[in-house]
Amino acid sequence: LDALARHAYGAGMWAEAATAALRAADHAASLLAPRPVTEQLSRAIAAMRAQGEEPPGEWLSRRGRAYEMLGDFPAALAGHEAALAQA
């Protein structure tokens, strides 16, 4: 899933990149791996924005929670504030 997300993103296939990255983030979360979760959600968020769409607030909040697990509290706060602003 990681490779698929990276390749789709690199090729500018935004919808496919967002879908693959979200699936890869779900898989990483099931393995309790917060760093890949933040990487994949960041990729999914960037792919959505590249399409001219705002990502769902849930993605922003999930990325914030993953940053919390990593101890990166400024990034976590930014993610939660972005989700709140979108709500």
For residue 29, which phi and psi values (nearest 5 degrees)?
A: -65, -35
CB neighbours of residue 11 within 10 Å: 10
The pTM of the whole model exceeds 0.75:
yes
pLDDT tens per residue, range 22-54? 999 999 999 999 999 999 999 999 999 999 999
Q: Tell me, what amino acid is at 23?
A: R
- Residue 59: closest CA among 51, 49, 50: 49
Interatomic CA distance for residues 39 and 44, integer angstroms: 9
- CA 45 centroid distance within chain: 5
pLDDT tens per residue, range 5-18? 999 999 999 999 99
